[in-house]
Amino acid sequence: MSTLWYATRAQTIWAVEDNQSWYDKVQRMLAEQGRQNLNYLFTQEKEAYVSFGESSPEGFDLIVVDGSYRSACVLQGAKLLRPGGILYLDNSDMDVQPEGGDMRVAESHLRDLAKTWKTIPVEVTDFVPGLFFVTQGMYVQRPLVKS
């Protein structure tokens, strides 16, 4: 439901989905709310999924990686993030894959970006609004000037 949440709070959002039933559900809810401030794509092709935001002329202030191909999306997101922007890896505690799984690789990429950008990765653990369980996320902020 993060797409709906952001659609009510951001001027413009871009979102990509590879689960047809979820995409259809969110599309219906967006239409019911009359939301037109987003570019929302359904694709099951990895290349189209990962490269989705490349056509944004301005880049992005916030990129939330919360779906498939997380490690590839973190790398791509770093290229599209505007100075001062935040790259957030959601639910970074959810992957039970061993070291080398996609979530762990995505975390590693985020930590490497933090080193490159001379910043600190931040881990956030908190309750999910409306649900009674704790989840973790991790983010880095791109410096205002290129490092």
C-alpha distances in Å from residue 11, one per residue of 8, 14, 16, 61, 94: 8, 11, 17, 11, 30
Other CB atoms closer than 10 Å to residue 63's CB: what's the count? 24
- For residue 147, pLDDT over 60 is answered with no
On whether the CB atoms of residues 67 and 73 are closer than 8 A, the answer is yes
Please state, rounded to an integer, the average pLDDT across all residues of the chain: 89
* Single pTM value for the model: 0.88
Across 21-47, average pLDDT: 94
C-alpha distances in Å from residue 83, one per residue of 66, 74, 145: 21, 16, 6
pLDDT in tens, 105-124: 999 999 999 999 999 999 98
> Which residue reads 């970074």 in tokens?
92
Across 15-38, average pLDDT: 94
Look at phi and psi of residue 97 and say left if phi exceeds 0, alpha if psi is from -120 to 50, else beta: beta
- Between 3.40.640.10, 3.40.50.150, 3.30.470.20, 3.30.70.2190, what CATH number should domain 45-141 receive? 3.40.50.150
pLDDT in tens, 65-105: 988 999 999 999 999 999 999 999 988 777 656 666 888 89
- DSSP SS3 for 74: helix
